[in-house]
Amino acid sequence: MGAQIKQARHAQGWTQTDLASRIGITQKTMHAIETGSPTVSIGSVFNAAFTVGVNLFGLEGTDLARARRQGEDTLALLPARVRKPVTKDDADDFAF
């Protein structure tokens, strides 16, 4: 994704410093994004990608909206809370 961001940034005619200032990060972090450093937050990567127009999910327009609705429908089927699993008491392990 870093290479795509770099390519899109060049197409916009922006320097790393230009893009970094637009999304509120340092030029050093921008460089880390473009080189694929695993230490950069995913939010910063997504912000950079969105700002230069990199397609994040391989979908656009109505296809993206449809995928979002499907995800929301799936989440609606999940329980509101997850129950804590019942565990066996260790004190009874040796009881005959």
C-beta of residue 1 within 8 angstroms of C-beta of residue 47 = no
Q: What is the pLDDT of residues 5-57, one digit of tens each?
A: 999 999 999 999 999 999 999 999 999 999 999 999 999 999 999 899 888 77
pTM over 0.95: no
Name which residue leads in pLDDT, 72 or 3: 3
Lookup result for tokens 């999940």: 78
Q: Which two tokens stand for residue 50?
A: 């969105």
Lookup result for tokens 């795509």: 4
Q: What is the pLDDT of residues 67-82, one digit of tens each?
A: 778 877 877 777 766 5
| Burial (CB count <10 Å: 0-12, 13-18, 19+), residue 46 | middle
| Segments making up each domain of the chain, as ranges | 2-52
C-beta of residue 17 within 8 angstroms of C-beta of residue 27 = yes
> Of 35, 37, 33, nearest to 24 (Cα)?
33
